[in-house]
């Protein structure tokens, strides 16, 4: 209960910040963008893991407010970085189902004069456990703003391949667990091959997450993955360090 009260106060007093993890193109290892990851530095407890306070925010009905802060901050950052660098923001199932989301996102983009195609949203398969027609409707309106929507952690949830056919996703992100296991089990290579094939047939890009070694990188590139994310190319970085990385690639 203490932590829950603290979360309310933390939202009011902006105790959050974003970290940015780089994504590179598989073909030439060029920086293409970042995934924004929220951090809460609690004044006494220190680092609180995002899944803990995000679940709390969801239960307390604070997710829209917290999520809106993340989107605003991502747009502020994008305004400082050159094209074609993108920023991807994770959105929770409760956030994506809200009919107000597309307007709020579009206002944040406008405030910072950032075109929609530089922002991506990442959703997990959990979005389809709720009100699917409202969710699909919100996602379609976001896509009309030029915003990309990635299906995150692909392969780990209750994937319904049927949803890939709704033309709302521009990208699949293969979960890092498959990437790591592909180095030891041939079956996991087969899974990645078929995910890539599936994505291509729906004209979606594919990102491999959790790429930690040069071998992982080469394997994913050779399997046709478009973009790579993982500790090999960078851990989540502060805004300042991410900005330095952008500058060194520009």
> Which parts of this chain interact with ligand G (CB under 6 A)?
21, 37-38, 50-51, 54, 70, 90-92, 122, 152-153, 176, 209-212, 230-231, 236
Around Cβ 225, how many Cβ atoms within 10 Å?
Answer: 23
By CB under 5 A, tell whether 122 contacts Mn ion. yes
Stretch that binds Na ion, among 13-21, 76-84, 134-142, 202-210 (CB under 5 A): 202-210
82: burial class by Cβ within 10 Å (0-12, 13-18, 19+)? Answer: exposed
* 85-114 positions binding Mn ion, by CB under 5 A: 90
From the list 22-30, 54-62, 149-157, 226-234, the region that binds Na ion by CB under 5 A is: 149-157
Q: Which is nearer to ligand G, 148 or 230 (CB)?
A: 230
SS3 category, 8: helix
Question: Minimal distance in Å, beta carbon 17 to Mn ion?
Answer: 17
H/E run at residue 36:
strand 31-42
Which of the stretches 2-10, 101-109, 147-155, 228-236 binds Na ion when contact is defined by CB under 5 A?
A: 147-155
Q: How far is the CB of 215 from ligand G (least distance, A)?
A: 13
Phi, psi of 20 (to 5 degrees): -125, 120
DSSP string covering 117-179, please?
GGEEEEE-GGGGGS-HHHHHHHHHHHHHTT-EEEEEEETSS---GGGGGGS--SEEEE-HHHH
* Beta carbon of residue 137, minimum distance to Mn ion (angstroms, whole number): 23
Residue in 72, 59, 60, 55 with CA at minimum distance from that of residue 14: 72
Tell which positions 150-179 bind Na ion, by CB under 5 A.
152-153
Neighbours of 145 (CB within 10 A): 15
Partner from ligand G, Mn ion, Na ion, none binding residue 70, C-beta < 5-8 Å depending on class: ligand G
The minimum distance between CB 127 and ligand G, in angstroms, equals 11
State the nearest-atom distance from the C-beta of 209 to Na ion, in Å: 5
Half-sphere exposure of 143 (CA within 13 A, CB side): 14
Which of the listed partners (Na ion, Mn ion, ligand G, none) does 121 bind, with a CB threshold of 5 to 8 Å by partner kind? none
- Pick one of Mn ion, ligand G, Na ion, none as the site partner of residue 51 (Cβ within 5 to 8 A by kind): ligand G
- Smallest distance, Å, CB 96 to Na ion? 16
Number of amino acids touching Mn ion (CB under 5 A): 3
What is the rounded distance in angstroms from the CA atom of residue 74 to the CA atom of residue 35? 10
Question: Rounded CA gap, 105 and 17, in Å?
Answer: 19
User: Which residues bind to Na ion, rule: CB under 5 A?
Assistant: 152-153, 209
Q: Which residues would be at the binding site for Mn ion (CB under 5 A)? A: 90, 122, 152
């Amino acid at each position: 209960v203490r932590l829950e009260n603290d979360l309310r106060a933390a939202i009011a007093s902006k105790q959050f910040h974003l970290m940015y993890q780089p994504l590179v193109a598989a073909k030439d290892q060029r920086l293409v963008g970042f995934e924004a990851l929220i951090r809460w530095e609690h004044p006494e407890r220190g680092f609180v893991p995002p899944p803990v306070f995000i679940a709390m925010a969801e239960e307390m009905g604070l997710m829209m407010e917290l999520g809106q802060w993340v989107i605003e901050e991502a747009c502020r950052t994008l305004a400082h970085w050159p094209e074609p660098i993108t920023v991807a923001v994770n959105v929770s199932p409760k956030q994506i189902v809200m009919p107000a989301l597309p307007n709020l996102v579009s206002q944040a983009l406008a405030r910072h004069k950032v075109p929609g195609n530089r922002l991506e949203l990442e959703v997990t398969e959990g979005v389809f456990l709720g009100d699917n027609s409202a969710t699909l409707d919100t996602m379609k309106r976001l896509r009309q703003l030029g915003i990309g929507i990635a299906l995150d952690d692909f392969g780990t949830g209750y994937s319904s391949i049927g949803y890939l056919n709704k033309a709302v996703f521009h990208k699949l992100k293969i979960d890092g667990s498959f990437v790591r296991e592909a180095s030891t089990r041939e079956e996991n290579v087969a899974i990645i091959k078929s995910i890539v094939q599936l994505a291509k047939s729906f004209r979606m890009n594919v990102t491999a997450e959790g790429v930690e070694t040069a071998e992982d990188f080469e394997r994913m590139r050779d399997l046709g993955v478009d973009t790579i994310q993982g500790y090999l190319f960078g851990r989540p970085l502060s805004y300042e360090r991410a900005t330095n990385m952008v500058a060194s690639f520009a």
